[in-house]
């Protein structure tokens, strides 16, 4: 059999916790769970679920099958590669187990012994189609809470070999999520082993690192990502925003600046200027708004480009980046065409529009008192006090804000998603003694 030409570093195995050992060996006698068909490991982030599950899954599959197919799946191929595939290859190297990574776009897979481990992303409802025709002896699903429900059902249907089993790990979402309602809550009826993990189940984390993760989360995100609870995101999205605390009338000197642009035609267009103060905290310095609903008519891309130039010149800043709503292709093109006459437009970037992670990061900054807003930003202040979770979406198991009172907050999210190193720097700054 051909082997990988690339050298893969060996995995540095460290002591496993009792919970990790249970996850790796639940299928072995004399475990009381050998009759289960599915194991679901949920709980906090960084709890050691994925490493233990990947290690146990391969040991189980090689001990029980020869010449069979298996399914390895993640939210996307990139996520699967980062979270599962790369560490798994290192583990195999450390154990002295040869493998071949077939990177073909048609059937990417790992070949281990006589078994084939096919790699799949599950990023939309049509992803299930890639499983069609495959007969498998088991599946490993990483971050299965992010999968479409039809992919999970197809995953189960594809594993029809006698003795097949499913190994799934996840981080909690809302209590109405299909994975919670239809699998975890029905674990006994469906012969599912449900295992709950916390940060303390990962022995590789120091106490300082655990404190850092706890510091990085606020509100519902703390309950889910740190405590590992399936709880609702309800009411105001930024319920930790306090007018008496977060609104300021004076600003420190700034070390860096960024601009976020939420672009609208029927809705408002908002420019948001944010700075990193000399006190190593972030400040929303100013905003500019225009929209048909508020001003009576919309502006063209040319007019908006001129307004953005005025906004930048007003504050006499050179933004590190200008993060723009990725759907605003025509406006991005307009700015790009004028980058020579206005150098700030050389720093234009399409924003990362990840809503949930952006909200989590903004919540963390607010909760840690690392984000403030100047009193002149009346529109964004109003949005902080109005932006709410959609109750109907919650009933469907989805975390979605109501698409109202969000234009400035979208621009804020674009910036925070785009400056992750600054975000981590700000959140990790130690308080002055």
Q: What is the 3-state secondary structure (H, E, C) of the chain?
A: CCCCCCCCCCCCCCCCCHHHHHHHHCCCCCCCCCCCCEEEEEECCCCCHHHHHHHHHHHHHHHHCCCCEEEEEECCHHHHHHHHHHHHHHHHHHHCCCEEEECCCCCCEEEECCEEEEEEECCCHHHHHHHCCCCECEEEECCHHHCCHHHHHHHHHHECCCCCEEEEECCCCCCCCHHHHHHHCCCCCCCEEEEEECHHHCCCCCHHHHHHHHHCCCCHHHHHHCCCCCCCCCCECCCCCCHHHHEECCCCCEEEEEEEEECCCCCCEEEEEEEEECCCCEEEEEEEEECHHHHCCCCCHHHHHHHHHHHHHHHCCCCCEEEECCCCHHHHHHHHCCCCCCHHHHHEEECCCCHHHHHHHHHHHHHCCCEEEECCCHHHHHHHCCCEECHHHHHCCCCCECCCCCHHHHHHHHHHHHCHHHHHHHHHCCCCC
| Sequence spans of domains, the chain | 18-205, 243-428
User: For position 215, what pLDDT does the model report?
Assistant: 87
pLDDT in tens, 197-222: 999 999 999 999 999 899 888 889 99
Could you tell me which CATH number the domain at 18-205 has? Answer: 3.40.50.300
pLDDT in tens, 314-338: 999 999 999 999 999 999 999 999 9
Q: What percent of the chain has pLDDT over 70?
A: 95
Instruction: Please tell me which residue, 395 or 246, carries the higher pLDDT value.
Output: 246
For the whole prediction, is pTM greater than 0.85? no
Check: CATH 3.30.420.280 for 243-428?
yes
Tell whether the model's pLDDT for residue 168 goes beyond 70.
yes
Query: Averaged over 80-85, what is the pLDDT?
Result: 95
User: For position 32, what pLDDT does the model report?
Assistant: 95
pLDDT in tens, 139-156: 999 999 999 999 999 999
């Amino acid at each position: 059999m051909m082997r990988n030409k690339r050298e893969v570093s060996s995995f540095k195995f460290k002591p496993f916790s009792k919970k990790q050992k249970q996850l790796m060996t639940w299928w072995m006698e004399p475990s009381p769970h050998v009759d289960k068909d599915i194991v679901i490991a949920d709980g906090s982030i960084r709890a050691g679920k994925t490493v233990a599950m990947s290690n146990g899954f391969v040991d189980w599959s090689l001990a029980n099958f020869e010449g069979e197919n298996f399914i390895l799946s993640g939210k996307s191929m990139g996520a699967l590669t980062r979270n599962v595939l790369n560490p798994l290859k290192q583990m195999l190297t450390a154990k002295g187990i040869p493998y071949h990574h077939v990177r073909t776009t048609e059937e990417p897979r790992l070949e281990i012994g006589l078994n084939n481990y096919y790699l799949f992303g599950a990023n939309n409802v049509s992803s299930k189609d890639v499983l069609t025709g495959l007969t498998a002896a088991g599946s490993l699903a990483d971050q299965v809470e992010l999968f479409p429900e039809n992919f999970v059902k197809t995953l189960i249907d594809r594993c029809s070999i006698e003795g097949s089993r499913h190994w799934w790990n996840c981080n909690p979402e809302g209590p109405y999520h299909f994975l919670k309602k239809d699998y975890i809550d029905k674990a006994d009826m469906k012969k599912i082993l449900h295992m709950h993990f916390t940060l303390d189940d990962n022995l590789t984390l120091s106490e300082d690192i655990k404190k850092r993760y706890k510091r990085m989360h606020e509100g519902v995100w703390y309950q889910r990502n740190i405590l590992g609870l399936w709880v609702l995101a309800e009411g105001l999205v930024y319920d930790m925003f306090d007018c008496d605390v977060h609104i300021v009338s004076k600003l420190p000197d700034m070390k860096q600046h960024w601009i976020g642009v939420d672009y609208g035609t029927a809705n408002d267009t908002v420019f948001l200027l944010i700075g990193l103060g000399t006190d190593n905290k972030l400040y929303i310095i100013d905003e500019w708004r225009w929209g048909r609903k508020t001003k009576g008519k919309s502006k063209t891309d040319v007019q908006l480009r001129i307004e953005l130039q005025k906004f930048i010149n007003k504050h006499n800043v050179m933004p590190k980046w200008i993060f723009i709503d990725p759907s605003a292709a025509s406006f991005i093109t307009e700015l790009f065409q004028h980058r020579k006459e206005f150098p700030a437009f050389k720093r234009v970037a399409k924003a990362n529009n990840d809503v949930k992670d952006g909200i989590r990061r903004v919540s963390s900054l607010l909760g840690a008192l690392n984000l403030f807003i100047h009193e002149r930003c009346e529109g964004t202040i109003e949005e902080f006090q109005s932006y709410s979770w959609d109750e109907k979406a919650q009933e469907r198991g989805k975390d979605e804000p109501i698409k109202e009172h969000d234009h400035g907050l979208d621009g804020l999210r674009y910036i925070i998603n785009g400056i992750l190193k600054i975000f981590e720097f700000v959140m990790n700054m130690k308080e002055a003694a």
